[in-house]
Structure 1
Amino acid sequence: MASARLSLRYVRRFTTAAGDATTTIESASPFPGKISVSKAKSTLRKVHDPDKALEIYSNVSDHSASPVSSRYAQELTVRRLAKCNRFSDIETLIESHKNDPKIKEESFYSMLIRSYGRASMFDHAMSTFEQMDKYGTPRSAVSFNALLTACLHSKKFDKVPQLFDEIPQRYKNTIPDKISYGILIKSYCDSGSPEKAIEIMRQMEKKRMEVTTIAFTTILGSLYKNGEIEVAESLWKEMVKKGCELDTAAYNVRLMNAQKESPERVSELIDEMISVGLKPDTISYNYLITAYCEKGMLDEAKKVFKGLEANKCAPNAATFRTLIFHLCYCGLYEQGYAMFKKSVRMNKIPDFNTLKHLAVGLVTNKKIDDAKGLIRTVKKKFPSSFLIAWKKLEEELGLCSKTDASSSSAKAAAEGRETAA
């Protein structure tokens, strides 16, 4: 209840002072004064508490300074709220922006549609799209693509083709462009139908419409995932022959498949990337790390990890997840814990299931202090709503302190009295 009051206090700022860049939040805020939207974006990446996320977002000095960063910051805030099922707060936040003078700008309006999609609130996204006439906001492929994207993020893959056909008929100015077709292609791929996506690609070619590298990469990835390797390789050769500008993301899709073959094959493709002037990124090297780990070649995997900085890359949560999982699988829990501490320093902590294996392994091997340290660190990094599974694991492993145990007993007793009453 307290968190709801706190978040709504920040949300009301948007409702009562939309567009007022001079308004500041309470002096008690841990983020006193205004911050740039770029600073907010980078800070929000590290924050998981929804109230803190709202507070940071509310403190942005000028959202118009960087529209792209502003959109990213808003979507990050919405995602933090959605993870905690704070949908009424999301609605209040997004609806408050409809009082902003920029609401007549299609790009600004489209940001609201996309944000509803990020929260899987497609009905709200659809309603917002239909309200554009009310606010005097023009429609074009920009808002149409925002609606299709919201549908995609809400995992309503079957509805995307329906909207693709219906919306242009209802609204004359919403003519699908190459991005619209790319979203349609992704909807078919995400629903496991790459053959339908290829049909759409062929239609685009007949219309002499550019097939973007993103659309091509999406189809390629779907084919590999479906095990249609020959079709995927044939499509790759076709795109190379046509002179399609292949980027790092396209090669990463091939690396994803190559990791199942051997680390040598992944290395070959990385060398090929470099030879054509592309720079392998963290995802590229993650596939190489995974390939080595799957073969039990942990020393080689750790060499790749140590070489990331030299290759001007930084490990992400997936990097640490892979290494910690395989170190635990091989019984190297102390090394796994050391890797966990590195992930904390870089603010790239892996998921619960990976760290659960590590915590259990540490306890089994009598590394109780390390296991307690792991759980204590996680508790500090994430909001209480994220920690239910951790608290349960802590109890199962007998790692609760006497204070925690007493607190749990008291809470259980109180709940028992309420039930009896």
Structure 2
Amino acid sequence: MAIVLTKLCRTLVPLHCCLHKYRFINSISPSHALLEHVKNAVETKAYRNIPDYLISFEQACLNPNPFAFLSTLPYRLRMQVVDEILQSFIPIRPRSCAQAAYAYLLSFTLQSSNPLPLGLAILQRTLRSGCVPVAQTRLLLSSAWLECRKVESQSVSDMLFEMQSIGYNPDCSTCNYLISSLCAVDQLNEAVKLLKGMSKAGCVPDLESFDTVVGAMCTVRKTSEALDMIKKMVEKVGLTPRQGTIVKVASALRANREIWRAVELIEFLEGKDYPVGFESYDLVVKGCLDSGENILAGKMVMGMTEKGFIPYIRTRHKVVERLAGAGEWKLANAVRQRFAELRS
């Protein structure tokens, strides 16, 4: 009996060890395992493996951030490592494979103690790869930008120039994303400063830059600033405002009952040979009727028809009736005759 028990114990001991080992392996959480993989990839400079690790563990609850260990590195060394990671991702195909890696790296950097200019560099590589930053990025980016501007009291151009110190040049895509992020958190004044500071940093604002700022101005009905920006686009930069942008300005002016300024806007654009679409004309004509500027409405309608635009039937009837009711028979007949010529 003693011999049998001895043999049984010898059999159970290895089994007990195996079970203990199994419990130890399974006690490692997926996020911890991922962190170890990423950390090992950085230590061995096998950066191109990182996107694959993130894809393999995509079902894991990635908290903390898989790049969190980088916070233990000195700032200069951290910048060097992040730069090497970014450069290693460039040849990866398809580019979307690196999207999660860019997202976690950008999130970690923007929430670190020194978010810029490294955060802008990561954002630039993200956008150039065709990847779309996650929604949270806008809030983190704008917060990091405002905090750095507040603490360091640097000009916008100096902030952008800092990208060059780590081997990256500011470009329109990066600046435009920052502009839209600032506008999204009601930091319009800072967005305007950024727009004006881009040129000094060697990055000429494009149509998207201006349209984003003008659109934000119209949202809060800062019509004077929006008009000034439109004129700057046309006269100084030589850009053609998008029809959608002109519509936003015309709509804001109508809402503010600044209809004469809306008319002046159309006259300004037409005088510079910039096309104005039907919707903008329609908004201005309706604004004239709303404000009781019936004669002005008639003149605007005549201008529309010269461009080949025919107002909606309700607007046509209202313009003719208002002119007749005000005793402006000559203009009313001219408008009616014009509509007849266009068979409307």
Scaled by the length of structure 2, what TM-score is found?
Answer: 0.45
Give the TM-score normalised by structure 1: 0.38
Which has the higher Rg, Structure 1 or Structure 2? 2
